[in-house]
Amino acid sequence: MKWSQFFNTSIGKKLLVGATGLFLCSFVIVHLAGNFQLLYNDQGKAFNAYAAFMGHNSLIQFIAWGLKIVILLHAFIAIQLTFSNRAARPVKYAVSPGNQTSSWFSRQMAIMGSILFIFLIIHLANFWAKFHYGDMPTQTYAGFEEPLKDLYRVSQETFKQGWLVALYVIGMIGLSFHLIHGFKSACQTFGLNHKKYNGLINFIGVWLFGIAIPIGFAIIPVVIYFK
Amino acid sequence: MEHYNMNLTLKVWRQKNKNDQGRFETLQAKDISSEMSFLEMFDVVNEQLINDGKDPVAFDHDCREGICGSCSMHINGRAHGPWDGTTTCQLHMRAFNDGDTITVEPWRAGAFPVIKDLTVDRTAFDRIIEAGGYISVNTGNAQDANCLPVDKNDADLSFAAASCIGCGACVAACKNSSAMLFVSAKVSQLALLPQGHPEKQSRALNMVAQMDKEGFGSCTNTGACEAECPKEISLTNIARLNREFIGAGFSSEK
Amino acid sequence: MLNAKIPAGPLNSKWEDYKGHCKLVNPANKRNLEVIIIGTGLAGASAAASLGELGYKVKAFCFQDSPRRAHSIAAQGGINAAKNYQNDGDSVFRLFYDTVKGGDYRAREANVHRLAEVSGNIIDQCVAQGVPFAREYGGLLSNRSFGGTQVQRTFYAAGQTGQQLLLGAYSALERQVALGNVKMYSRHEMLDIVKIDGKARGIIARDLVTGELERHFGHAVLICSGGYGNVFYLSTNAMGSNATAAWKATKNGAYFANPCFTQIHPTCIPVSGDHQSKLTLMSESLRNDGRIWVPKKQNDTRKASDIPEEERDYYLERRYPAFGNLVPRDVASRAAKERCDAGFGVGTSRQAVYLDFAAAIERYGSIEVGKRQLTNVSKEDIIKLGKEVVAEKYGNLFDMYAKITGENPYELPMRIYPAVHYTMGGLWVDYELNTTVPGLYSLGEANFSDHGANRLGASALMQGLADGYFVLPYTIGNYLADEIRTKAISTDHPAFVEAEKSVQDIINKFMTTKGTRSVDYFHKKLGKIMWDKCGMARNEKGLKEAIEEIKALRVEFWKEVRVPGEAKEFNPELEKAGRVADFLELGELMCMDALNRRESCGGHFREESQTEDGEAKRDDDNFSYVAAWEYKGYGQYELHKEPLVFEECKPTQRSYK
């Protein structure tokens, strides 16, 4: 089977979705670690320095563009699969089993993914676009020659808007459900289903990606809002 | 066992042939004993329809002991009805109560077109097997059976996968109409045995390609197939199929 | 006189000799020879695969939606083979001898010996195909023991051996379909044989989805359509199992042999009411540990648990102290019927006996206590341990029983009753599996087979696969070698036209009768007549009555049957009507054969021929023959006899006391 054929099979496509998904999982860990610097009480010195580094290091920039492509690829193939999956059942059931045979969130990957995608656009508009192309306030810190773009202040101001905080929380709920199933599902797609490791896979999927990381992300705007 | 009689309202899918639109018809099932099987309840309803000069409900059934895989009803939203690990023919009426309304639909999948009423065409499964669900050994080729020792654990896993009856409940239960559990059961059965090794790559690649060609959806790992499978075939088989397929895709020279 | 074409020479070299001398067809000619196969169970699927591999052009037909659904799939226990892997003294001769003796000396020695000879090859072939037989920890094949033998020669795959073997044959068949050597016609039913110049040359089949009739040519036709147990309406057969193919063959000149030889299996789940559509077998292996009993008091309505030990009648242990609960199927079945008829039956219908595991549970529990060296164990704990052991051995059967009856067999004794299970009779075939019509072959349960008057457990699977994989592929060559000059005959030939017309006439008759009764009504009535008068015990008076009743029922059927819907559509009622019409004729022939055979042998028990203590009595002087019936017009048959000669197995009276 040629590569073009291989990645055109249903499993081949799922592999791409799974691989991009797992890559995005690793990204959220890094992203969250960086974001926690927003909670430091240092007038944003650490965070802004980190943002400046991330914004100027060419390797990081290269990865960042790769990341965007990965996100689009993940979404594009997933949407394609979703449509072909829908088409596989032209006449629907009058009565569906509900949650008797599968979990609710495992069936809502497309919805959760769509919520995340919308969230992502707003999120990028709020910060990434402003940072790179918009008017940014600057701040000078001891030890830095140049003034740094003050993304810290932008975020402090942004998260004073209640509706936006709510939107971020909703986005993270979407992330939670998407990853509770997504991590485990990607493992299964790669053939990782083994008595000895399923406990670990479940633990990581549920506790790390399903709970800890989304809460970690969501807590930042909430804390800022109430500060 | 205490038994009781009940009257039921059935909402049954009626469709004259594959070109017909189809619609639900409401039928009454009277004096149904809790000791009947679900199909025997349909026998009673059909007898009444025939006596009334109407067309009986067509449904697939044969062995009525849960092994041939013919019966295929989607009952109140569940493939093979409410009992776990049970085919429609082994579902008994004590699962229901007097006055219940039961909705009965055929397996719904583009790859399983309706032939009539609750009868669907599952020949897609045969074509998937044709694509590679076998070991190429002509009659008379075989060596002595005990020349090939098989690890008992592998043999047991292979048997568990081989217990698939090809009923299509996995497809019916899957929100994507995916046939992955069916395909994985056959691929696993043969991949776990040394006899199956020489063809394992082409088998996985060809069976998956045929599955896609038939128009089944892809697997999103919801687990509904495993939950509804009357033979309780495990999702680990799907993982094994994925491994076989990836291995074959990355290493096969063809 | 029927010529069985048994090769000359000593028994153990006949088959070798035959294979060495039979004619062969060269590969180029095979491509031009077409073979039609009816039925895709073990016999049909294995034959289709093997002939396809050889290069013949095969067309295979089954009425189910897929060849994988054939009823071979429901066989539970296992498959015999003389491998002697257990080093317990098994051999080809022993398997041969056990089979002839188990069949109560009514089988053809040469065929049975060949069956035993190829039995080992079957296991090799199946393992090579990927059939997941049970294995020991060392990775080698496991065996279990089965009724009627003293060696462990039964290979098995849990309680699903038939399923695994069929799926093996099915995958071999599908491989040939993919290679283009076999064309598969599923949801097709054969409705007539086409004969040209005395030879079978094709069939008329109905596409069950569209209702269209089709003509198919073949240089030879193989009937592999299974048994006719559904004549009884209630049996362990599948709902669709039918005799139509075999019966159309009979009407076209193939003799039907020993139709009265039906096997009634002793351990089935009893009938629960008039709605019952089929009966479910509980494997023979349960009798290894379960004890069978009824109350000592007639019409005892107490619950089983309320009947004290001294008021229970373990009638098999009482009557047959040597074999106890492990007497052969026919004996166990008759004993259960005797008790129920005498008013000792249990359950609401009173047509059942208990199969009780309480003693086994306690025994196994105590053994476990010993094994685990436990002390101070309460009775409850012993029972709990015992139940675990029983669950390990018979769990799936117990679950099936619980699902069907709603009762917990770990707590209450199972209720069981005999049920029709297998038919030893079938189309008469010679050593080459050819019927009396040249080019028309019959394999598996559809032929009168190798089982005489009673089949041993785990031998049906063996025979089906032996015929399909290892016998027919040789013997058919001997016939087809002379057919290489026969070009494919056009299906416009008058014989095809005429056959199709007669099929069409019957369908028209069904569609225009517009009577008042459903097909099932007649089927149930026929079943009751057969069960009451041609079932586990038969007598002259009953059989004569049955013949008259069936004749009358047949007349009523053709006047009053109601087939809804249309002929040119998917119409399961029309399919059933055709099958029941054939059962109505075959049922009569079964009674005639039973009437003719004034002896008891195997599954055939004539009340007039029994010993003083009620055991079956064979009459070798007068009935040591195969009764082959020739169809002579509607309801008329002529008897032909094939004398049975026993060179190696000298007939003796069976005793289990």
The pTM of this model reads: 0.96
* Fold (topology level) of B123-251: Fumarate Reductase Iron-sulfur Protein; Chain B, domain 2 (1.10.1060)
Minimal CA separation from C257 to chain B, in Å:
26
Q: Does the ipTM surpass 0.90?
A: yes
pLDDT of residue A191: 97
* Residue from B33, B47, B130, B139 whose CB has the most chain C CBs within 10 Å, to mutate: B139
Identity of the residue in B68, B135, B145 whose CB atom sits nearest the CB atom of C74: B68
Whether the CB of B85 is below 8 Å from some CB of chain A: the reply is no
Minimal CA separation from B72 to chain C, in Å:
12
Helix/strand/coil for C383? helix
* Spans of all domains in chain B: 5-116, 123-251
Do the Cβ atoms of B136 and C128 come closer than 8 Å?
no
With CA atoms as reference, the chain C residue closest to B131 would be C178
CATH number of B5-116: 3.40.50.2000, 3.10.20.30, 3.30.750.24, 3.50.50.60? 3.10.20.30
Amino acid identity at B136:
S
Q: Which tokens belong to C254?
A: 């193939």
With CA atoms as reference, the chain B residue closest to C86 would be B146
pLDDT of residue C396: 80
Q: Which residues of B touch A102 (CB under 8 A)?
A: 175, 222-224, 227
CATH number of C265-420: 3.90.700.10, 3.90.180.10, 1.10.760.10, 3.40.50.970? 3.90.700.10
Whether the CB of A101 is below 8 Å from some CB of chain B: the reply is yes
Phi/psi for B132 (5° steps) reads: 160, 10
Digit-coded pLDDT (tens) for C75-132: 988 999 999 999 999 999 999 999 999 899 999 999 999 999 999 999 999 999 999 9
Angle at B4 between CA B3 and CA B7, to 5 degrees: 145
Cα–Cα dist A115/A120, whole Å: 8
Minimal CA separation from C562 to chain B, in Å:
8
pLDDT of residue A70: 97
Mean pLDDT of A91-105: 94
Q: Which tokens belong to B153?
A: 């654990």
**Could you tell me which residues come within 8 angstroms of residue A8 by beta carbon, excluding any fewer than 6 positions away?**
none
Identity of the residue in C132, C469, C518 whose CB atom sits nearest the CB atom of B158: C132
pLDDT of residue C461: 96
C-alpha to C-alpha distances, A202 to A209, A211, C222, C276, C282, nearest whole angstrom = 10, 12, 56, 47, 41
C-alpha to C-alpha distances, C125 to B16, B144, B203, C130, C172, nearest whole angstrom = 44, 9, 20, 9, 11
With CA atoms as reference, the chain B residue closest to C208 would be B115
C613 has a pLDDT exceeding 90: no
Chain B window 135-194: which residues touch A at a Cβ cutoff of 8 Å?
A: 173, 175-178
pLDDT of residue C191: 98
DSSP character at residue C144? B
Q: Do A193 and B235 touch (CB under 8 A)?
A: yes
Q: What is the dihedral of CA B198, B204, B206, B212, to 10 degrees?
A: 170
Q: What is the dihedral of CA C342, C347, C353, C359, to 10 degrees?
A: -130
> Parallel, antiparallel, or unpaired: how do β-strands C154-155 and C79-80 relate?
antiparallel
Instruction: Find the catalytic residue in C69, C153, C287, C329.
Output: C329
Whether the CB of B76 is below 8 Å from some CB of chain A: the reply is yes
Q: Which residues of A touch B223 (CB under 8 A)?
A: 101-103, 106
Cα–Cα dist C98/C198, whole Å: 38
* Residue from C69, C126, C396 whose CB has the most chain B CBs within 10 Å, to mutate: C69
Identity of the residue in B76, B78, B216 whose CB atom sits nearest the CB atom of A88: B216
With CA atoms as reference, the chain C residue closest to B66 would be C74
C146 has a pLDDT exceeding 80: no
Cα–Cα dist C446/C423, whole Å: 8
Do the Cβ atoms of C570 and B116 come closer than 8 Å?
yes
b/e C9-29 (16+ beta carbons within 10 angstroms → b) = eebeebbeebeeebeebeeeb
Percent with pLDDT over 70 in chain C: 100
Residue C310 CB burial class (10 angstroms; 0-12, 13-18, ≥19): exposed
Minimal CA separation from A189 to chain B, in Å:
6
Q: Which residues of B touch C67 (CB under 8 A)?
A: 126
Q: Do C276 and B40 touch (CB under 8 A)?
A: yes
Q: Which residues of A touch B205 (CB under 8 A)?
A: 1
Identity of the residue in C49, C124, C273 whose CB atom sits nearest the CB atom of B144: C124
Indicate the pLDDT class of residue C522, thresholds 50, 70 and 90: very high
Indicate the pLDDT class of residue C486, thresholds 50, 70 and 90: very high
Residue A98 falls within a domain, yes or no? no
pLDDT of residue C356: 95
Q: Do B54 and C564 touch (CB under 8 A)?
A: yes
Q: Provide the β-strand partners of residue B173.
A: none
Whether the CB of B21 is below 8 Å from some CB of chain C: the reply is no
Minimal CA separation from B142 to chain C, in Å:
5
Q: Which tokens belong to C248?
A: 């159309």
Minimal CA separation from A174 to chain B, in Å:
17
Q: Do B217 and A90 touch (CB under 8 A)?
A: no
What stretch of H or E contains A95? none
C329 is catalytic: yes
C-alpha atoms less than 13 angstroms from C-alpha of A224 in its C-beta half-sphere: 29
Total structural domains in chain A? 1
* Spans of all domains in chain C: 265-420
User: Which residue range forms the structural domain that includes residue A153?
Assistant: 11-86+104-226
Q: What is the dihedral of CA C84, C85, C87, C90, to 10 degrees?
A: -10
Q: Do A191 and B239 touch (CB under 8 A)?
A: yes
Do the Cβ atoms of B123 and C453 come closer than 8 Å?
no
Minimal CA separation from C155 to chain B, in Å:
11
A135 has a pLDDT exceeding 90: no
What stretch of H or E contains C268? strand C262-268
Q: Which residues of B touch C236 (CB under 8 A)?
A: 65
Q: Do C406 and B1 touch (CB under 8 A)?
A: yes
Indicate the pLDDT class of residue C145, thresholds 50, 70 and 90: confident
The average confidence (pLDDT) of chain C is 95
Q: Do B217 and A88 touch (CB under 8 A)?
A: yes
Q: Which residues of B touch A9 (CB under 8 A)?
A: 208-209, 212, 245
Digit-coded pLDDT (tens) for A45-58: 999 999 999 988 99
**Could you tell me which residues come within 8 angstroms of residue C461 by beta carbon, excluding any fewer than 6 positions away?**
C42, C72, C75, C78, C79, C161, C162, C165
Q: Do B137 and C239 touch (CB under 8 A)?
A: no
In this complex, the chains that touch C, judged by 3 or more CB pairs closer than 8 A, are: B
Q: Which residues of B touch A77 (CB under 8 A)?
A: none
Q: Do C174 and B134 touch (CB under 8 A)?
A: yes
Do the Cβ atoms of C217 and C488 come closer than 8 Å?
yes
With CA atoms as reference, the chain A residue closest to B80 would be A97
Q: Which residues of A touch B76 (CB under 8 A)?
A: 95
Cα–Cα dist C329/C339, whole Å: 16
pLDDT of residue B1: 61
pLDDT of residue C84: 96
Residue A91 falls within a domain, yes or no? no
C288 has a pLDDT exceeding 90: no
Which CATH number fits the domain that encloses residue A63? 1.20.1300.10
Q: Which tokens belong to C106?
A: 């009514």
Instruction: Give the distance from CA C553 to its chain's centroid.
Output: 26
Residue with tokens 């394992």: B200
Cα–Cα dist C166/C68, whole Å: 7
Whether the CB of B81 is below 8 Å from some CB of chain C: the reply is no
C289 has a pLDDT exceeding 90: no
Digit-coded pLDDT (tens) for C324-383: 888 888 889 999 999 999 999 998 889 999 999 999 999 999 999 998 898 888 999 999
Identity of the residue in B36, B61, B143 whose CB atom sits nearest the CB atom of C275: B36
Residue A49 falls within a domain, yes or no? yes
Cα–Cα dist C541/C598, whole Å: 12
Per-residue model confidence as pLDDT tens for chain B (254 residues)? 678 999 999 999 999 999 999 999 999 999 999 999 999 999 999 999 999 999 999 999 999 999 999 999 999 999 999 999 999 999 999 999 999 999 999 999 999 999 999 999 999 999 999 999 999 999 999 999 999 999 999 999 999 999 999 999 999 999 999 999 999 999 999 999 999 999 999 999 999 999 999 999 999 999 999 999 999 999 999 999 999 999 999 998 87
Chain A window 177-206: which residues touch B at a Cβ cutoff of 8 Å?
A: 181, 184-185, 188-194
A–C contact: 3+ Cβ pairs < 8 A: no
> Parallel, antiparallel, or unpaired: how do β-strands C637-643 and C262-268 relate?
unpaired
In this complex, the chains that touch A, judged by 3 or more CB pairs closer than 8 A, are: B
| Distance linking the first and last C-alpha atoms of chain A | 58
Q: What is the dihedral of CA B81, B86, B87, B88, to 10 degrees?
A: -40
Mean pLDDT of A21-41: 94
pLDDT of residue C327: 82
* Residue from B182, B218, B219 whose CB has the most chain A CBs within 10 Å, to mutate: B218
pLDDT of residue C620: 96
Q: Do B65 and C130 touch (CB under 8 A)?
A: no
Residue A97 falls within a domain, yes or no? no
